[in-house]
């Protein structure tokens, strides 16, 4: 048993269509310790979901392709194993919940049966009665009374459906749970309920988690470690405290400045100028340089090295590259 549940080295994912190559993920590396939650933060097109799909080995191919990289799940290289072996791993070791609970559930099956299906699939030979008991336990665990076992998805509200989805994902007690914007479709008070429940469950079951979100508030609520993604790269990586209190990368700073603060008054928000770059036509040099207020000539060409500004706090920006070398 290795110390890190997940280690990703230099992952590159590209989508090739007839017209263009979309550079979705461009050489990201990170690791996740057991029982920790990693927040993958970024805007549309930053490559968050592609990263998650790559970890599940579910990149649609064609047009998608993992060009490079190594993914070690619990010490096992999942890039080299067969599809059949991977199917065994999905659900049992690594499991995923999606943003929209409406489409993740089968509308014509009772929710209890959908949980049971997963339980039985991964525990061959388990009796029906035992699987039912297990499914009921899961429902109770996510805060739904077992009496609703026979009800259909349309009889549940959005928040309750997301709880069912979480119950399905946790049915085989996976070691790693990937949650792709799990609360984005929910109302604020319901989001608070679901986040609260997820936190409790994680502690109870000892699951490690990757939480994909664009909401910095949710990150602060739920994560231990945070990776800020921009244009398929991790531009800043560190503990929650490092990212929130001592953020360094201009994009991270811009992102935090873009959201209105509840405690202070500003007349105008400090918006990041410009748009997300087109992933099929990324700029040379630092991918953020066209929007960066501190852009220099050096930023416009060449590779940007990653600098460790303090233990465990990595920044991909030239400003800190030199300082990092000095230190």
Count other C-beta atoms under 10 Å from residue 146's C-beta: 15
Query: Closest distance between another protein and the C-beta of residue 291, in Å?
Result: 8
Count other C-beta atoms under 10 Å from residue 61's C-beta: 11
Query: Closest distance between another protein and the C-beta of residue 175, in Å?
Result: 26
Query: 204: closest CA among 240, 185, 177?
Result: 177
**217-251 b/e (C-beta count within 10 Å ≥ 16 → b):** ebbebbbbbbbbbbbbbbbbbbbbebbeeebbbbb
CB 97 within 8 A of CB 104: yes
Under the criterion CB under 8 A, does residue 256 sit at the interface with another protein? yes
Under the criterion CB under 8 A, does residue 68 sit at the interface with another protein? no
When the beta carbons of 74 and 181 are compared against another protein, the nearer one is 181
Under the criterion CB under 8 A, does residue 85 sit at the interface with another protein? no
Burial of 135 (0-12, 13-18, 19+ CB in 10 A): buried
Query: Closest distance between another protein and the C-beta of residue 245, in Å?
Result: 6
**Collapsed DSSP state (helix, strand, coil) of residue 75:** coil
Under the criterion CB under 8 A, does residue 70 sit at the interface with another protein? no
**Collapsed DSSP state (helix, strand, coil) of residue 63:** coil
Q: Is the dihedral of CA 220, 221, 227, 228 positive or negative?
A: negative
Under the criterion CB under 8 A, does residue 58 sit at the interface with another protein? no
Q: Which of 1, 108, 129, 188 binds another protein (CB under 8 A)?
A: 188
Under the criterion CB under 8 A, does residue 192 sit at the interface with another protein? yes
Under the criterion CB under 8 A, does residue 296 sit at the interface with another protein? no
For tokens 């609520």, the residue is 221
When the beta carbons of 106 and 258 are compared against another protein, the nearer one is 258
Between vectors from CA 192 to CA 190 and to CA 193, what angle results, nearest 5°? 65
Under the criterion CB under 8 A, does residue 303 sit at the interface with another protein? no
DSSP 8-state class, residue 90:
B
Under the criterion CB under 8 A, does residue 245 sit at the interface with another protein? yes
Binding mask 196-215 for another protein (x = CB under 8 A): x-----------------xx
Under the criterion CB under 8 A, does residue 62 sit at the interface with another protein? no
Binding mask 148-167 for another protein (x = CB under 8 A): ---------xxxx-------
Query: In the beta sheet, which residues pair with residue 68?
Result: 12
Q: Which of 82, 271, 303, 326 binds another protein (CB under 8 A)?
A: 271
Euclidean distance between CA atoms 60 and 106, whole angstroms: 21
Under the criterion CB under 8 A, does residue 102 sit at the interface with another protein? no
Q: Which of 128, 262, 303, 311 binds another protein (CB under 8 A)?
A: 262
Under the criterion CB under 8 A, does residue 86 sit at the interface with another protein? no
Query: Closest distance between another protein and the C-beta of residue 322, in Å?
Result: 27
When the beta carbons of 282 and 298 are compared against another protein, the nearer one is 282
Q: Is the dihedral of CA 254, 258, 259, 261 positive or negative?
A: positive
CB 304 within 8 A of CB 321: yes
Site for another protein in 7-46 (CB under 8 A): 16, 18-21, 43-44
Q: Which of 259, 300, 312, 323 binds another protein (CB under 8 A)?
A: 259
User: In the complex, which residues of this chain contact another protein (CB under 8 A)?
Assistant: 16, 18-21, 43-44, 157-160, 187-193, 195-196, 214-221, 240-241, 244-245, 254-262, 265-273, 275-276
């Amino acid at each position: 048993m290795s110390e890190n549940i997940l280690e990703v080295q230099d992952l590159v994912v590209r989508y090739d269509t007839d017209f263009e190559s979309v550079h979705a993920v461009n050489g990201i590396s990170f690791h996740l310790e057991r029982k920790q939650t990693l927040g993958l933060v970024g805007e549309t097109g930053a490559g968050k979901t592609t990263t998650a799909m790559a970890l599940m080995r579910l990149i649609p191919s064609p047009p998608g392709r993992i060009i490079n990289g190594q993914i070690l799940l619990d010490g096992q290289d999942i890039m080299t194993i067969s599809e059949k072996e991977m199917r065994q791993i999905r659900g049992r070791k690594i499991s995923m919940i999606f943003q929209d609970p409406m489409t993740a559930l089968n509308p014509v099956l009772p929710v209890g049966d959908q949980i049971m299906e997963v339980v039985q699939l991964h525990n061959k030979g388990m009796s029906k009665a035992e699987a039912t008991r297990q499914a009921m336990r899961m429902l109770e665990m996510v805060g739904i009374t077992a009496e609703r076992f026979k009800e259909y998805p349309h009889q549940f509200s959005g928040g309750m459906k997301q709880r069912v989805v979480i119950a399905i994902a946790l049915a085989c007690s996976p070691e790693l749970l990937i949650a792709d914007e799990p609360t984005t479709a929910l109302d604020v008070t319901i989001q608070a309920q679901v986040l609260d429940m997820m936190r409790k469950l994680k502690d109870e079951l000892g699951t490690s988690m990757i939480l994909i979100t664009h909401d910095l508030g949710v990150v602060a609520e739920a994560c231990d470690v945070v990776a800020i993604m921009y244009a398929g790269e991790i531009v800043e990586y560190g503990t929650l405290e490092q990212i929130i209190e001592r953020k360094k990368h201009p994009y991270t700073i811009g992102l935090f400045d873009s959201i209105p603060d509840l405690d202070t008054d500003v007349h105008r928000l400090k918006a990041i100028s410009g748009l997300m770059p087109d992933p099929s036509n990324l700029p040379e040099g630092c991918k953020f340089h066209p929007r960066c207020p501190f852009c220099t000539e050096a930023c416009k060409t060449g590779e940007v090295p990653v600098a460790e500004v303090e233990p465990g706090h990595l920044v991909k920006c030239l400003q800190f590259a030199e300082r990092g070398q000095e230190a």
